[in-house]
Chains A and B, each alone.
Chain A
């Protein structure tokens, strides 16, 4: 889908709560709207030879509901998931792509083959000869190289510039060959080398890279490499994309794909139900109702890039520096009602820093299951004794906990916070719960005076376990590692893991990391969430995979 980098980026789930799942979608119903159909057909030009699909499914349009609109179509400026969803329709990134059914494996995409030299740092990619921009120009290694050079220029302010740091040189010896040299041999080297979503050099070269007033392509891309081309974008209303006849995986069956912006997931669900949109994401509480709809299929999967929820400790707090206190608080939380009543059974309990979908998953980490008696005992062992009003006291300090969650619009986080507040009170803590609007939450959680004890938050984990080092690393305090967890052994192991080419040995390394982190319990790991999306039954060709459904959007069709 989007930039290869997209899959290895860790994101605060809070953005997801605001932005909703990346693919929240739906479509104008051509049965009630014959004009939309005609307009869409008129816009797509005569099919070319390579677009001649054998299937009888070509035609029709689809509308997806989304709660957030994109910011722009600049692949090297945007950081929000809505923009990335738009971009993935228009620009193809990835010389290679992850195999949707075996996400740690790579398969050819824009490159038809690749090789790694004996030095283990020089990757050579051979582009498919049939790659075309939608205006007919060939997509060549020169496009890749030019784009790389712009993105790498520090003046251009690419937010993920650090993704390009491992690249020592990026060469295009001939139009179909790219040679990428990295600074050191790493297991994730292929992902590091495949970091560029190419932009059409022949168009972009004449414009400014940064300024949308001097580069119309930033807001209105006219040339596409992805399955669709942008036809019309009315902000906060809709964006309509039409099939790219020259898409190298074949022209999409759908003539057009529209993303319609809706104010919230509740309305998205109503529109899905009414058939006004063909695709929508909605809150877990609508799941059962959605399953019963005659006109909608709910597709669900356990994502390879799992989303998991946790309560994170602030290890700057003296009381929480005692691992017994952290374990005690973990024993105070009952995951069963959280899963049943807050997440409507669309989640499973987790106890580890890596999700069960990872090949590296360690099921044998300690499980701090619900056991209030044990929790009280652990707190007593740690020296906390009940004071006159029942609140635990140690050395004259009361056990006061301040739980923060954000964004305050997230019902799920609010409810998890409430459950934690209730349970911690039962074992003798004084608990305050506060929800903050997202920007305010980030500010409070990750900048001084760090006046909080726990945060309710979620992470989107990465397919390769390596990238999760960022949340446990001393170098990412206080942003990603907002609780200031430091364990040198964990950092050492991560460094070993990324240099270990033997899969079995690598697996052992990550299992040890999980063991150490669960022993330290800097987070109370709560649940791993299932992903799901509702699609109108008139849309066919959807095949659920651990990477979701969007990987084969060009094969979707109207039944």
Chain B
């Protein structure tokens, strides 16, 4: 187990290095540069030149990458080209908003688990069909679009919920925040409902057909105990994998979502940084997200051994 973890960590470090080289190269291959924020043509070329110097963009790209890497290894991600603030400050400032929304979405998304179990237990009956149709539709519709439609419709009819934003300015209270959270969290949770309910339904059905379930029932174990001890525990294994993947989204946020709901999170900052060619911010966000994806998967693999004793590490 310990050897497995150490090996995976070493692999992950190389993976991160590879990601950083690739994303740095791709980022720099995109046309334009951070001076495009200074796109006002009245700015003289000498000023642009001064800016390029200040940003360190005059050196060859590999040298720039080397400097970036050296600083990044010391956890120094530099300063934003656009507003000259430390990148870390900018990210930390956005983190609470993104975590608030994605955590709420994730927790609400867990409702998909009982939904899937319920569908499996009512296989072939109305609730099962209904759930299947709804999940297919829900999967086919882009969620940001659905969010936008809900906003447009509720703007034109009764307004139960605010049209985006995190709280009413000047009224930053818990009820107000929750009220703003409902719509985006519900739509964010849709992904969870769809994925969890589909997985759980098929897993539960599969496990229900296993010999040990029949044995348990045959020896007179009560149905609720069969479900919780034998069926559910086995059916939940794939959820662990899915959870490993969600660790990164918890922090990286959803670009489209945060945009639709005017949510001041990481996702929107990432988009702005991409358009402005704010290289330090982009690199920091890429590395943060990559790190979390890798860490999430590693954690999921470790957790596997815990939930499924059949898994062995070597």
Q: Which residues of A contact B (CB under 8 A)?
A: 9-12, 14-15, 18, 28, 33, 35-37, 39-40, 61, 63, 71-72, 77, 79-80, 154, 157-162, 210-213, 219, 232, 234-238, 240, 256, 258, 260-264, 266-267, 270-271, 273-274, 276, 436-440, 442-444, 470, 476, 479-480
Contact partner of A237 (CB less than 8 A), chosen from B37, B43, B86, B264, is B264
Q: From residue A427, how far is it (CB to closest CB) to chain B in Å? A: 32
Q: Which residues of B contact A (CB under 8 A)?
A: 30-33, 36-45, 47, 50-51, 54, 82-86, 93-94, 97, 148, 151-152, 155-156, 159, 162-166, 168-171, 173, 259-262, 264-265, 268-269, 272, 275-277
Q: Evaluate contact between A237 and B166: CB separation under 8 angstroms.
A: yes
Between A and B, 19 residue pairs with Cβ closer than 8 Å are: A14-B39, A39-B171, A71-B83, A77-B84, A162-B42, A219-B83, A232-B169, A236-B269, A258-B169, A260-B165, A267-B163, A274-B156, A437-B275, A438-B39, A440-B30, A443-B36, A444-B31, A476-B41, A480-B41
Chain A residue nearest to B162 in the complex (CB): A276
Given the known A-B contacts A80-B37, A470-B41, are A274 and B165 also in contact in the complex, defined by CB atoms under 8 Å?
no
Q: Evaluate contact between A28 and B36: CB separation under 8 angstroms.
A: no
Given the known A-B contacts A213-B85, A267-B164, are A39 and B170 also in contact in the complex, defined by CB atoms under 8 Å?
yes
Residues from chain A with Cβ under 8 Å of B155 in the complex: 270-271, 273-274
Contact partner of B83 (CB less than 8 A), chosen from A72, A158, A271, A480, is A72
Give Cα distance in the complex from A476 to B44, angstroms. Answer: 9
Residues from chain B with Cβ under 8 Å of A263 in the complex: 164, 259-262, 268
Q: Evaluate contact between A439 and B43: CB separation under 8 angstroms.
A: no
Contact partner of B163 (CB less than 8 A), chosen from A256, A274, A443, is A274
Q: Evaluate contact between B51 and A213: CB separation under 8 angstroms.
A: no
Residues from chain A with Cβ under 8 Å of B277 in the complex: 439
Given the known A-B contacts A71-B82, A267-B164, are A79 and B40 also in contact in the complex, defined by CB atoms under 8 Å?
yes
Q: Evaluate contact between B262 and A442: CB separation under 8 angstroms.
A: no
Contact partner of A440 (CB less than 8 A), chosen from B31, B47, B50, is B31
Given the known A-B contacts A162-B44, A263-B260, A276-B162, are A240 and B170 also in contact in the complex, defined by CB atoms under 8 Å?
yes
Residues from chain A with Cβ under 8 Å of B169 in the complex: 28, 36, 63, 232, 234, 237-238, 240, 258, 260
Give Cα distance in the complex from A33 to B269, angstroms. Answer: 28
Q: Evaluate contact between B82 and A479: CB separation under 8 angstroms.
A: no
Q: Evaluate contact between A79 and B37: CB separation under 8 angstroms.
A: yes
Residues from chain A with Cβ under 8 Å of B31 in the complex: 436, 439-440, 443-444
Q: Evaluate contact between B93 and A28: CB separation under 8 angstroms.
A: no
Q: Evaluate contact between B165 and A237: CB separation under 8 angstroms.
A: yes
Q: From residue A192, how far is it (CB to closest CB) to chain B in Å? A: 14
Given the known A-B contacts A33-B170, A40-B170, A438-B275, are A270 and B264 also in contact in the complex, defined by CB atoms under 8 Å?
no
Q: From residue B308, how far is it (CB to closest CB) to chain A in Å? A: 42
Give Cα distance in the complex from A9 to B269, angstroms. Answer: 28
Residues from chain B with Cβ under 8 Å of A276 in the complex: 162-163
The 4 closest A-B pairs by CB, nearest first: A439-B32, A36-B170, A439-B36, A270-B155
Contact partner of B43 (CB less than 8 A), chosen from A71, A159, A256, A274, is A159
Contact partner of B156 (CB less than 8 A), chosen from A35, A210, A273, A439, is A273
Q: Evaluate contact between B47 and A157: CB separation under 8 angstroms.
A: yes
Q: From residue A554, how far is it (CB to closest CB) to chain B in Å? A: 21
Chain A residue nearest to B97 in the complex (CB): A237
Residues from chain B with Cβ under 8 Å of A235 in the complex: 93-94, 264
How many contacting A-B pairs (Cβ < 8 A)?
A: 170
Given the known A-B contacts A33-B168, A232-B169, are A439 and B163 also in contact in the complex, defined by CB atoms under 8 Å?
no
Q: From residue B82, how far is it (CB to closest CB) to chain A in Å? A: 6
Residues from chain B with Cβ under 8 Å of A436 in the complex: 31
Given the known A-B contacts A157-B51, A263-B260, are A270 and B152 also in contact in the complex, defined by CB atoms under 8 Å?
yes
Contact partner of B165 (CB less than 8 A), chosen from A10, A238, A440, is A238
Q: Evaluate contact between A36 and B168: CB separation under 8 angstroms.
A: yes
Q: Evaluate contact between A234 and B163: CB separation under 8 angstroms.
A: no
Give Cα distance in the complex from A480 to B83, angstroms. Answer: 25
Give Cα distance in the complex from A33 to B268, angstroms. Answer: 27
Chain B residue nearest to A236 in the complex (CB): B264
Chain A residue nearest to B268 in the complex (CB): A236
Interface centre among B97, B164, B262, B265 (most CB of A within 10 A): B262
Residues from chain B with Cβ under 8 Å of A79 in the complex: 37-40, 43
Give Cα distance in the complex from A15 to B148, angstroms. Answer: 25
Give Cα distance in the complex from A547 to B184, angstroms. Answer: 39
Q: From residue B109, how far is it (CB to closest CB) to chain A in Å? A: 23
Q: From residue B171, how far is it (CB to closest CB) to chain A in Å? A: 4
Taking A61-B170, A212-B83, A236-B264 as given, write out 6 further A-B residue pairs in contact, using a Cβ cutoff of 8 Å, ordered by the A residue number.
A14-B39, A157-B51, A270-B163, A273-B156, A439-B32, A439-B275
Q: Evaluate contact between A159 and B47: CB separation under 8 angstroms.
A: yes
Chain B residue nearest to A15 in the complex (CB): B39
Q: Evaluate contact between A211 and B275: CB separation under 8 angstroms.
A: no
Give Cα distance in the complex from A263 to B42, angstroms. Answer: 28
Residues from chain A with Cβ under 8 Å of B44 in the complex: 161-162
Residues from chain B with Cβ under 8 Å of A39 in the complex: 170-171
Given the known A-B contacts A159-B47, A237-B264, A437-B275, are A270 and B40 also in contact in the complex, defined by CB atoms under 8 Å?
no
Give Cα distance in the complex from A280 to B155, angstroms. Answer: 15
Residues from chain B with Cβ under 8 Å of A37 in the complex: 170
Give Cα distance in the complex from A442 to B33, angstroms. Answer: 10
Chain B residue nearest to A157 in the complex (CB): B50
Q: Evaluate contact between B51 and A11: CB separation under 8 angstroms.
A: no
Give Cα distance in the complex from A79 to B41, angstroms. Answer: 10
Residues from chain B with Cβ under 8 Å of A262 in the complex: 164, 262
Give Cα distance in the complex from A9 to B268, angstroms. Answer: 29
Chain B residue nearest to A439 in the complex (CB): B32
Chain A residue nearest to B267 in the complex (CB): A236
Chain B residue nearest to A43 in the complex (CB): B170
Q: From residue A86, how far is it (CB to closest CB) to chain B in Å? A: 13
Residues from chain A with Cβ under 8 Å of B171 in the complex: 28, 33, 35-36, 39
Q: From residue B130, how far is it (CB to closest CB) to chain A in Å? A: 31
Residues from chain A with Cβ under 8 Å of B259 in the complex: 263-264
Give Cα distance in the complex from A4 to B291, angstroms. Answer: 48
Residues from chain B with Cβ under 8 Å of A160 in the complex: 40, 42-43
